[in-house]
Amino acid sequence: MPEAAAIAARHIPVLRDRVVDLARPLGARVEAPRFLDATLGLGGHSQALLEACPTAELLGLDRDREALALASARLAPFGARVHTMHSRFSASCKALDELGWQSVDFALIDIGVSSMQLDEGQRGFSLHANGPLDMRMDQGEGPSAADLVNTLPFEKLREIIATLGEDPMAQRIARAICEARARAPIRETLALADIVSQAYPRAWRAKSRHHPATRTFQALRMVVNNELGELETFLDSILARLSPGGRLCVITFHSLEDRLVKRSMRRWASGCLCPPHAPVCRCHHQPEVELLTKKPLVADREELARNPRASSAKLRACEKLAVPQALPTTEERDQESV
Ligand SMILES: C[S@@+](CC[C@H](N)C(=O)[O-])C[C@H]1O[C@@H](n2cnc3c(N)ncnc32)[C@H](O)[C@@H]1O
Ligand SMILES: [Zn+2]
């Protein structure tokens, strides 16, 4: 597939070297490590991982069939070391079951849209190339962005744009959308981009570094694809499928997503989870992971110069403890219950 080769040639995934550095020790520790890349995208991270760990096998998932086809072509030279499946990452455990893998040594998600999705007008994510207002990553499944924009009540639209888009102009934007759709349904990306842009005060529009509709588009995309729900389900289930000593690496582009990842990893890494005022521990929670990133890793200046989209990327990683921490003895438990 020459097109795949061309895309692959100019595509360097975000924080690639950091991801590879986190995975490389597993290649040395485990004879034939198993990797899960649950957001295959264009296959850039997977390719780098397979090159860095020559005995590793990898399962790649994506909910976008077009991305899956491109990545599969890109990774074809690795032959039987690569398995790909069309799946959401919330269903990673099911995908692992299908392959007969009980556990993995390294799991990665690099959340969000791929550059291919963003650039192609027909996918409906682009602010610059016109196309149908779609935004569904798994083409054709569930309501599109046009369905939401033309049917959601004003208050719901405002709330989505304010919370997921973190746009201070949410009220004005939601009102402008409702007025526009009363005249005619909003069906195309550039029509919506223009409506949002016009809703901004002129002075704000002039000083903004990004297109004024960037945040609204992001908010709609997150709802259309249930992105926070996908992440929560993934975080709730993946730890059980990491092998002892296995590592989890999550790259996010949105503060709400990063907060979910931070909270989950901190909870897994902590001992007692009882409320601070509890006189004795009753939860008996033991640390399950060690944090590998106390603060999120971010792109350096060189990467930002090459890829400005990396500016909001945050990477957090943890390692599952090899030996489960000892549970309290019966004596200790008895003492606590006195
Ligand atoms: C930022 S790109 C990943 C890029 C990839 N790491 C690379 O090196 O090319 C995100 C990809 O994740 C996919 N994706 C987003 N949410 C997903 C989900 N919940 N389940 C599966 N794939 C998802 C998108 O379709 C997109 O292809
Ligand atoms: Zn406790």
Q: Which ligand is nearest to the CA of 279?
A: 2
The superfamily in CATH containing domain 139-224 is Putative methyltransferase TM0872, insert domain (1.10.150.170)
Cβ–Cβ < 8 Å for 89, 61: yes
> Is the Cβ atom of 257 under 6 angstroms away from ligand 1?
no
Ligand nearest to the CA of 307: 1
Handedness of CA 122, 126, 127, 133 (dihedral sign): positive
- Phi and psi at 188, nearest 5°, equal -125, 155
Counting atoms of ligand 1 from 1, which one is nearest the CA of 64? 25
Cα angle 140-141-144, degrees, rounded to a multiple of 5? 75
For residue 315, the ligand closest to its alpha carbon is 1
The domain spans of the chain are: 2-115+227-320, 139-224
Q: Is 67 in the pocket of ligand 1 (CB under 6 A)?
A: yes
**Cβ-based neighbours of 129, under 8 Å, separated by 6 or more:** 119, 120, 121, 189
Angle at 247 between CA 270 and CA 253, to 5 degrees: 85
By C-alpha distance, which of 324, 297, 318, 316 is closest to 247?
A: 318
| Residue nearest (by alpha carbon) to ligand 1 atom 27 | 41
Q: CB neighbours of 51 closer than 8 A, spacing ≥ 6?
A: none
Lowest pLDDT segment from 25-39, 194-208, 265-279:
194-208
DSSP string across 248-290 = EEEEESSHHHHHHHHHHHHHHH-S--S-TT-SS--S-----EE
Cα(110) to ligand 1 centroid in Å equals 6
Q: Is 338 exposed, middle or buried (0-12, 13-18, 19+ CB in 10 A)?
A: exposed
Give yes or no for residue 329 having a pLDDT over 50: no
pLDDT tens for residues 6-23?
666 667 899 999 999 999
Compute the CA torsion angle 191, 158, 315, 7 (nearest 10 deg).
Answer: -10
Phi-psi sector, 15: left (phi>0), alpha (psi -120 to 50), beta: left
d(CA 112, CA 309): 11
Ligand having the closest approach to the CA of 228: 1
Cα separation, 15 vs 108, whole angstroms: 12
pLDDT at position 118: 87
- Local confidence band at 253 (pLDDT 50, 70, 90 cut-offs): very high
Q: Does residue 29 carry a pLDDT above 80?
A: yes
pLDDT at 59 over 50: yes
Q: Is the pLDDT of residue 131 over 60?
A: yes
Distance, CA of 8 to CA of 184 (rounded, Å): 40
pLDDT digits (tens, 9 = 90+) for 68-82: 999 999 999 999 999
Q: What's the rounded Cα separation, in Å, for the pair 283 and 159?
A: 36
Lowest-confidence pick of 25-29, 103-107, 176-180: 25-29
The secondary element (H helix, E strand) that includes residue 303 is: helix 301-306
Q: How far is the CA of 191 from the centre of ligand 1 (A)?
A: 27
Rounded to 5 degrees, φ, ψ at 100 are: 80, 20
Q: What is the pLDDT of residue 5?
A: 60
| Concatenated DSSP letters of 176-190 | HHHHHHHHS---BHH
Instruction: Find, among 256, 261, 240, 238, the residue nearest to 316 by Cα.
Output: 261
Distance between CA atoms of residues 47 and 224, nearest Å: 29
pLDDT tier at 28, thresholds 50, 70, 90: confident
137 lines ligand 1 (CB under 6 A): yes
Q: What pairing do the DSSP bridges indicate for beta strands 314-320 and 242-252?
A: antiparallel
CATH no. of 2-115+227-320: 3.40.50.150
Whole-number Å distance, alpha carbon 286 to ligand 2 midpoint, is 9
Alpha-carbon gap, residue 162 to 55, rounded angstroms: 47
Mean predicted confidence (pLDDT) in 247-258: 96
The 314-320 sheet, strands edge to edge: 82-86, 57-62, 34-37, 104-110, 242-252, 314-320, 289-291
Which of 94, 137, 228, 260 has the most ligand 1 atoms within 8 A of CB, as the residue to mutate?
137
Structure tokens at 309: 């989209």
> How many A from CA of 90 to the centre of ligand 2?
29
Probe residue for ligand 1, chosen from 17, 62, 74, 138 as the CB with the greatest number of ligand atoms within 8 Å: 62
pLDDT for the residue 9: 61
